[in-house]
Structure 1
Amino acid sequence: MRTSDKIAGVGLLCLALAGCNENGSTQAFLRGADSESGGAAVADCAIGLRSAWGRTCLVEQAGAILTFRHADGGFRRFTILKDGRGLASADGAEPASIAILDQGQIEVSAGEDRYRLPATIAER
């Protein structure tokens, strides 16, 4: 089953990393800021083909743009979509795809890089 088929009947109401406050502005969503990362948000990621998962990607949010910074200095940017579909690639030639995981998480993939994020998921 293709990822797009898998999520066709499901809407992502709100990424846990990007909730809206009363003023409509975006607030930080990722849990897990810790002293090792200097207080920055950290996400689980697997960077590159056949890479193991690790909590090694720093996450920055500026409005509707999420930037995932890799340990090797690389990064990926995604746009938080306001229509409830999740994330889309903000730059680059490789489109983002989303898979819904158990435990209220989504997995975002772009090229050979994968990221796991908390999400609130509701059926339409």
Structure 2
Amino acid sequence: MFTRISSAILICLLATGCGEGLNGTDGDPSNQKQTKVACALDGTDDFKPQCSFDEVAGDKGTILTLHEPDGGFHRLRITRDGRGVVAADGAAPAIVKVVGDHQIEVTIDNSRYRLPATIGPVRAK
């Protein structure tokens, strides 16, 4: 069975209303709040709710910034082509896999992040 990660990734799961940004904001960076997510950093196997993300909608799409507790971060762009997210910058690609009904795991370098997602069937064009 084919699945894709909806272009509406994360939206209705985290926002208080579907017309708002991912974290209940209006997309204005000054209104950002961070949402905690589980991550396994630097090759560890233990997922802990120690990372967070925020999002900003812009001309080139919505960018998620994943924040690590040591100040490190990765930026992801939400796609509309079924891939879910891709690395927005940097040399390392983002590898995405579905790990639950409403969850994806994003691997960048040796770190993994579990993000809520809306997952649905691929529609024929």
- For the aligned pair, the TM-score class normalised by the smaller chain equals 0.7 to 0.9
Structure 1 alignment gaps of length 5 or more:
1-7, 31-38
The alpha carbon displacement at 1:84 in A equals: 3.2
Distance in 1 (alpha carbons) for counterparts of 2:43 and 2:75: 19
Give the match for residue 10 of structure 1: 3
Structure 1, 39-48 or 74-83: larger mean CA deviation: 39-48
Give the match for residue 45 of structure 1: 39
Normalising by structure 1, we get a TM-score of 0.73
Structure 1, 78-87 or 11-20: larger mean CA deviation: 11-20
The alpha carbon displacement at 1:105 in A equals: 0.7
Normalising by structure 2, we get a TM-score of 0.73
Structure 2 alignment gaps of length 5 or more:
25-32
Give the match for residue 70 of structure 1: 68
Distance in 2 (alpha carbons) for counterparts of 1:40 and 1:96: 20
The structure with the largest strand share of the pair is 1
The alpha carbon displacement at 1:68 in A equals: 0.8
1:47-95 deviations in Å (ceiling 9; x for gaps): 1112521111121111111111101111111001122320000111110
The alpha carbon displacement at 1:97 in A equals: 0.8
Give the match for residue 90 of structure 1: 88
**Cα 1:101–1:87 shift into 2, 3 Å:** same
Contact 2:11 2:18 (C-alpha < 8 Å) held by counterparts: no
Extract structure 1 runs of 4+ deviating beyond 6 A: none
| Count of aligned pairs between the two proteins | 106
Q: Which amino acid aligns with 2:103?
A: Q
Aligned CA-pair RMSD: 2.5
